[in-house]
Structures are given as C-alpha cells and as structure tokens.
Amino acid sequence: MDFLASLFVQKPLSILLVALVFLVGFLALQFTGLGAGRHPRALLVPAAAWGLYAAWEWLVTVRSPEANIRVDLLVLWPVLALLSIGFVIKALR
C-alpha cells in the first residue's frame, strides 16, 4: 500500500500517465491488426476513470496540500482497480 501511495498520492502527473497508457493501448488495438475480433473501445473507460482521478488528485493537491488522511482513496483505488482489470479483460476477449 505504501508503494501505491508513493506513486499516486499527490502526483497527478503519474496518474495521468496511467490514463495515457490505457489510451495508447486503445489506439494500438484500434488502428493496428491487433484489435481484430476484440473490443478496443473498452479501454476508453479505464482511461477516462484514471483521467478523472488525475483531475481529482490535482484538485486535492491544490486545495488542501496538507491532507494526510485520505478516506477518499478507500473508495477510489478499489473502483479504479476493478475498472482497469475488468475492462482490460473485456478489451482483449
């Protein structure tokens, strides 16, 4: 958990990088032959979710940089994990 916190807490650019990875995955599947018979648009859901999380993290960082107890992450991280795993599986089926 500390590893995730060091990567993502108060680091919206790192979170945005994850969103861009999903977007690049979508583009790779959509515009190459790799996406034949698959659902590459499913990767847009986790890309959007991670992008929204990056915006949220930026807002928290700007508005309350001293926040050291982040209850919101108890909800956000499991939702992001489920969305990411579920839609990657859907995209590759």
Instruction: Note the pLDDT tens digit of each residue in 45-62.
Output: 999 999 999 999 999 999
From first to last of its 93 residues, the chain has per-residue pLDDT tens of 788 888 888 899 999 999 999 999 999 988 887 767 788 899 999 999 999 999 999 999 999 988 878 899 999 999 999 999 999 999 988
Number of separate domains in the chain: 1
Q: Enter the pTM of the model.
A: 0.89
Report the distance separating Cα 27 and Cα 86, nearest Å.
18
Domain of residue 30: give its range. 2-92
